[in-house]
Amino acid sequence: MSINAKLGDVLKTVVRSGADFADLYFEIAASHSYSFENGVLEEISSSSSEGVGARILRGEATSLAYAPGVDLETGFACLRDAAENGYVSLQPLRLPSIRVMDREPPFPPPEYAFFHDLDKRLKASSMWIRQVSMNLDTAFKRFSVFNSDGALAGDRRLYTIFSVEVVVEKGGVLQTGYESEAFSVDSREFFKTTSPLKIAEAALSRALLMLDAPQCPAGAMPVLISGEAGGTMIHEACGHGFEADIIQKDFSVYRDKIGKQVASPLITLVDDGSIPGYLGSGVCDDEGTQCARNVLIEKGVVRKYISDIASSRRGSLPLTGNGRRSSYRSVPQPRMTNTYIEPGDSSPEKMLRSVGRGLLVKKMGGGEVDPTSGDFVFHVTEGYLVKDGRVLHPVRGAVLTGNGPDVLMNIEAVGNDLHFLPGMCGKSGQNVPVTDGQPSLLIGNLTVGGAQTYDEAISE
């Protein structure tokens, strides 16, 4: 009997013993991480692992057991432990210590000698630089997953992320510029098409631009969020609210909204894990479900939530290919992959001309979101004052405050300039790579936090 057939029989035995569902997830992974700050390498870390996670679903309960090793014997031992923790009686069974996955060659470390030269070149270009920080992360994983429904699937994934943060100071004023790039390739392929110098220069340019900028005015005003700003606000203020486990815990403002209008008819929100080369993409998710294009909001109306196997079974939801886990040690969760608003038919130039007294956002920073209410606060790291359709000058310290559903309903125009930005998404202690995207969005009225009036900002 083949290994696959043997595992299939064992998992079906678990269900016959009282479980509702069971799966085994075998994974081989490796990573390298470099952190550079204050002219020195602060941290270098490398890791490699082989392991298996066994999961059992019974009623509302999930039981997980994991251990290092990708062989049959270890897999069954984890299943036995998960069954015991899940109050499922599983008969003893001896399986041979045969590998389920072939060994991987060593994962090559990236070249990082350029850090010191780049740091010196950047600091030589401006007297206002106080600190330069760089991070380089590259990772690989290959997995095979088997479940009690008879499914067998797997995937191989790579990603490399390089980021630069520059802090500048002038007259007691501190400003920070940040820029990053990421692709689903190893580090050697990454640096064939990516220039660390250009990334660093972009971060420095943004910091210096904001250094001499006046304070942003406060008040309610039209806000044009450029496609270049990335989909951070959509990801945080809207995307997480469509994850089925959050919906089922009643922590989402989008609960019970299928078929109801929650956004302007101009808005179509998509999560698509099948886009080739994007950071959130794959052949299948970490449960073996094929990755697919899922329309969450269609012309303002909610059509679907994103699910994993547990939430699908719990709520009779269709599987969407969004069951993701950070490693074999973690329980899968419904997670976004590549989430974006589809482009509209308005040019960014036309959208800008329609703004009387408002704000143009070119780059978003961090923020906070309450998924239960949809309320959010986001910082703007690059923003410009707009008057009568013209960009006047940059302003610093802008903060966007609002409510996700209210903002979606208040979209007056959607640009034809869809942009994507990759990154890492955290949830319940797990980080997974994602990509967020949006075209330019014109919000008719949004509260902007600042330190002066609009007229005072114009006069500076």
Is the pLDDT at 457 greater than 80, yes or no?
A: no
Average pLDDT of the chain?
93
Is the pLDDT at 224 greater than 90, yes or no?
A: yes
Residue 401's pLDDT is: 94
Tens of pLDDT, residue by residue over 227-237, are 999 888 888 88
Tens of pLDDT, residue by residue over 99-149, are 999 999 999 999 999 999 999 999 999 999 999 999 999 999 999 999 999
pLDDT band at 37 (very low <50, low <70, confident <90, very high): very high
Residue 460's pLDDT is: 62
Give the mean model confidence (pLDDT) for residues 429-436: 95
Taking every pair of Cα atoms in the chain, the longest distance, rounded to a whole number of angstroms, is 80
CATH topology of domain 3-211: PmbA/TldD fold (3.30.2290)
Is the pLDDT at 46 greater than 70, yes or no?
A: yes
Residue 1's pLDDT is: 59
Give the mean model confidence (pLDDT) for residues 420-427: 92
Give the mean model confidence (pLDDT) for residues 140-163: 95
More confident residue, 135 or 38: 135
Q: Where in the chain is the domain with CATH 3.30.2290.10?
A: 3-211
Give the mean model confidence (pLDDT) for residues 267-296: 96
Tell me the one-letter amino acid at 116: H
Residue 97's pLDDT is: 84
Give the mean model confidence (pLDDT) for residues 71-85: 92
Tens of pLDDT, residue by residue over 358-409, are 999 999 988 888 888 889 999 999 999 999 999 999 999 999 999 999 999 9
Q: Say what percent of the chain tops pLDDT 70.
A: 99
Phi–psi pair at 271, nearest 5 degrees: -120, 120
Give me the residues paired with residue 443 across strands: 223, 411
**Residue 192, number of CB atoms within 10 A of its CB:** 8
Q: Say what percent of the chain tops pLDDT 90.
A: 82
- Written as six digits, the tokens of 182 are 């990421």
Is the pLDDT at 87 greater than 70, yes or no?
A: yes
Angstrom distances, CA of residue 203 to CA of 94, 163, 197, 382, 455: 57, 9, 10, 11, 30
Is the pLDDT at 456 greater than 80, yes or no?
A: no
pTM above 0.75, yes or no: yes
SS3 annotation, 211-276:
HCCCECECEEEEEEECHHHCCHHHHHHCHHHHEHHHHHCCCCCCCCCCCCECCCCCCCEEEECCCC
Is the pLDDT at 334 greater than 70, yes or no?
A: yes
**Residue 332, number of CB atoms within 10 A of its CB:** 26
Q: Whole-angstrom Cα distance, residue 222 to residue 383? A: 13
Residue 374's pLDDT is: 86
Strands 293-298 and 390-395 come out as unpaired
